[in-house]
Amino acid sequence: MSKVCVLVTGCLWLTLAQALLLAAPAEQSRPNILFIFSDDHATGAISAYGSRLIQTPNIDRIAREGALFRNCFCTNSICGPSRAVILTGKHSHLNGFIDNRSTFNGAQLTFPKLLQQAGYQTSLIGKWHLVSQPTGFTHWDVLPGQGDYYNPVFLSAPETTGGKPSQRTVNGYVSDIITDLALEWLDGSRDRSKPFLLMLQHKAPHRAWAPGPEELDLFRGVVFPEPATLFDDYSGRGRAAAEQEMTIARHMTKLDLALVAPGNLTPTQRARYEAAFAAENEALALDAPTGDARTRWNYQRYIANYLRCVAGVDRNIGRVLDFLDRTGLAKNTIVIYSSDQGFYLGEHGWYDKRWMYEESLRMPLAMRWPGTIKPGLIADQFIQNLDFAPTLLAATSVATPPDMQGRSLLPILRGEMPADWRTSVYYHYYEFPDSHRVQSHYGVRTATHKLIWYDAIAEWELFDLVNDPHELHSIHADAAAQDTFATLRGELSRLRSSVGDTTGKPLPR
**DSSP-derived secondary structure letter, 337:** E
Contacts of 364 (CB under 8 A, 6+ apart): 41, 42, 43, 46, 49, 59, 72, 337, 338, 339, 342
Pairwise CA distance, residues 313 & 339, whole Å: 11
CB of 482 to Ca ion, least distance (A): 37
Q: Is 268 exposed, middle or buried (0-12, 13-18, 19+ CB in 10 A)?
A: exposed
- Which residues, at least 6 apart from 153, have a Cβ–Cβ distance to it below 8 Å? 143, 144, 147, 167, 168, 169, 170
Minimum gap (Å) between residue 72 Cβ and Ca ion:
15
What's the closest the beta carbon of residue 39 comes to Ca ion, in angstroms? 4
> Cis link prior to 211 (omega < 30° from 0)?
no
Nearest to Ca ion of 340, 431 (CB atom): 340
Burial, 377: exposed, middle or buried (Cβ in 10 Å; 0-12, 13-18, 19+)? middle
Amino acid sitting at position 476: H
Q: Which is nearer to Ca ion, 100 or 474 (CB)?
A: 100
| Identity of the residue, 317 or 330, whose beta carbon is nearer to Ca ion in the bound complex | 317
Could you give the angle at which helices 291-327 and 57-64 cross, rounded to 10 degrees? 50
Distance of closest approach, residue 254 Cβ to Ca ion, in angstroms: 22
3-state secondary structure of 33: strand
Give least dist CB 509 to Ca ion, A: 36
**Least separation, in Å, of the C-beta of 128 and Ca ion?**
12
Closer to Ca ion by Cβ: residue 340 or 387: 340
Smallest separation, CB 127 to Ca ion (Å): 9
Compute the radius of gyration of the chain from its Cα atoms: 24
Tell me whether residue 71 or residue 146 sits nearer to Ca ion (CB atom). Answer: 146
Residues near 94 by beta carbon (within 8 Å), at least 6 away in sequence: 88, 403, 405, 500
CB of residue 307 to Ca ion, shortest distance in Å? 17
Task: Report, in Å, the least distance between residue 339 CB and Ca ion.
Answer: 7
For residues 39 and 491, which CB has a smaller minimum distance to Ca ion in the complex? 39
Question: DSSP states of 489-509 as a string?
Answer: HHHHHHHHHHHT---SSPPP-
In the complex, minimum distance from the CB of residue 352 to Ca ion, in angstroms, rounded to a whole number: 9
Those residues whose C-beta lies under 8 Å from the C-beta of residue 492, and which sit 6 or more positions away, are 426, 442, 443, 444, 451, 453, 507
Residue nearest to Ca ion (CB): 79
Q: Is 475 left (phi over 0), alpha (psi -120 to 50) or beta?
A: alpha
Residue closer to Ca ion (CB basis): 42 or 182: 42
Helix H or strand E segment including 126 = strand 121-127
- The dihedral built from the CA positions of residue 245, 246, 247 and 251, taken in this order, carries a sign that is positive
Phi first, then psi, for residue 78 (nearest 5°) are: -160, 155
Q: Are 425 and 58 in contact (CB under 8 A)?
A: no
Rounded to a whole number of angstroms, the minimum distance from the CB of residue 145 to Ca ion is 13
Given the complex with Ca ion, which of 42 and 261 has the nearer CB atom?
A: 42
Buried b / exposed e across 131-165, counting CB within 10 Å, b at 16+?
eebbbbbbbbbbbbebbbbbbbebbbbeeeeeeeb
Q: Contact positions toward Ca ion, by CB under 5 A?
A: 39-40, 79, 340
- Reading phi first (left if > 0) and then psi (alpha if -120 to 50, else beta), residue 147 is in left
